[in-house]
Structure formats: C-alpha cells, structure tokens
Structure 1
Amino acid sequence: MGSVVNLEGKIYSCKHCRTHLALSEDIISKSFHTVNGKAYLFNKVVNISVGVHEEKMMMTGMYTVADIFCVGCGSIVGWRYETAHEKAQKYKEGKSVLQRIKISGPDGSNYGSDADDA
C-alpha cells in the first residue's frame, strides 16, 4: 500500500478511521441523493481504492460505476463514475461521489449535523 495523502484545508475524512478523502473546495455538487441519504460529487478524492466496474441504471441514465473504499480501514465510502452513457452526464466521468453518512465534515461533524452544510 502506498503512503496516505494528507490534505490541508477544509477536509472531508472517513468517519471510521479519519483518513483524509477530499477537500470541500473540490465539491462539484451537494445535491446527490442515495438510498443512505445525501451524497456529494467531488472533482477529486484521495486515499481510496476502486472496486469492480459495473453497469448501473440511475435516475439520470446508465453509467459504468465502481465502488470506492477508504484505504485506511477498507470501508466503502461511495462510488466513482467511470463512464456516463448519456451525453449530458459526461461531466461526471472520473468524478467520485462520497456518501455523507460515511464521512466526517471539515468541522468534525458527522451526518445528522448540518453545521458544515451551511
């Protein structure tokens, strides 16, 4: 396993082991919803491993996606869009979604506190 990247700034981290995952400045959208609640689309995410690619039909069309896992503790934190089959959704390719329930916000809050959503 390679070395873990430490981010500086407003950091989102794995709620289980505190491994840094992403910066708030890399958020593209906070309007994603999953079966587990809110999720954020990030331009880039660090310290993750990528699972098996699979085809998935979502509300906005068909995608090739892969689950992403925290390298610190191995827990699933979200998914990455590998390919978008709809032209209008191509901007999501290579971007990652982190589920809010799996991550801690920049102020250390866990899901359920909207302090970092203000």
Structure 2
Amino acid sequence: MGRLFLINLEGKIYSCKHCQTDLALYEDIVSKSFHCRHGKAYLFNKVVNVTVGPKEDRMMMTGLHTVADIFCVGCGSIVGWKYEAAHDKSQRYKEGKFILERFKVSGPDGSNYWASQEAQVGGSDADDA
C-alpha cells in the first residue's frame, strides 16, 4: 500500500469513531440539519483524510443527487458522502460539500453520537438546510 500521510487538524475536530483520524473542523460546518439512516448528519465545506468512492445517482428526500461515498483513510470505514451534483437548482449549494454521519464520527469533545430510534430508514438528505 505505501506510506500514509495524514493531515492533522487543530481546534474543534470531528474524527473517525473507529481510528480517531482527523476528518473535519467544527468551523467548516455549513448545516447540522441533515439526517441519514443512522440519525443526524452534518454538511461540511471541506473534510480531510478521506478517499472518495465512485459517483452514483441517489434519490434523496430533496430529489436526485449525484454523490460519492467517502471513506476514512486510516481504517477504510465509510464516514459519509460527497455531493458531486444536484439535479434541482435549489439544491446546488450542496455541490462539492461533504456529509459526515454523526453515528460514524466522534465530536470535538470526544463524544460519540448513537443512532436514534427515530432515525430514518429511507433516503438520506436535509430536512431544512
């Protein structure tokens, strides 16, 4: 595989729940009003230490989006997805941004988010971004 170079962040950091690899800064959050299968999800302007999977079209609560799953480079676990394209003009603000699922990351204070029983089973997306 080769040598792994990680970006270390400073400040309030969201990290992989499994291996503690830094993923994003609190200050890069765009919205906390997103939901996914496991409960809450946050929209970020940028994330680090992830690899981006293949693009695919997914029907979400706000319509059709082209997305790519993102994986932690430290352990390979899926931590969210990247919005590649929005097919509805009103959703284009999401393009190029990232979703981190709170169930899969540790918060800035080291806390983990546990999936709620109200978590949605259907498509993932924002309620009111």
- TM-score of the aligned structures, taking structure 1 as reference length: 0.92
Mapped partners of 2:76, 2:7: distance in 1:
16
Give % identity: 72
Aligned to 2:36: 34
Runs (5+) with no aligned partner, structure 1? 113-118
- Does 1:43 pair with 2:50? no
1:2 deviation in Å? 4.9
Match of 1:88 among 79, 87, 90: 90
Runs (5+) with no aligned partner, structure 2? 115-129
Mapped partners of 2:98, 2:68: distance in 1:
9
Match of 1:70 among 38, 47, 72: 72
Mapped partners of 2:75, 2:16: distance in 1:
9
Give aligned pairs, total.
Answer: 112
Higher relative contact order (CA 8 A, sep 6+): 2
- TM-score of the aligned structures, taking structure 2 as reference length: 0.85
Mapped partners of 1:92, 1:18: distance in 2:
26
- Does 1:7 pair with 2:14? no
Match of 2:26 among 24, 36, 47: 24
Aligned to 2:122: none
Q: Which amino acid aligns with 1:8?
A: E
- Does 1:110 pair with 2:112? yes
**1:13-33 deviation line (CA, Å, top 9, x unaligned):** 000000000000000000101
Structure 1 segments (4+ residues) deviating >4 Å: none
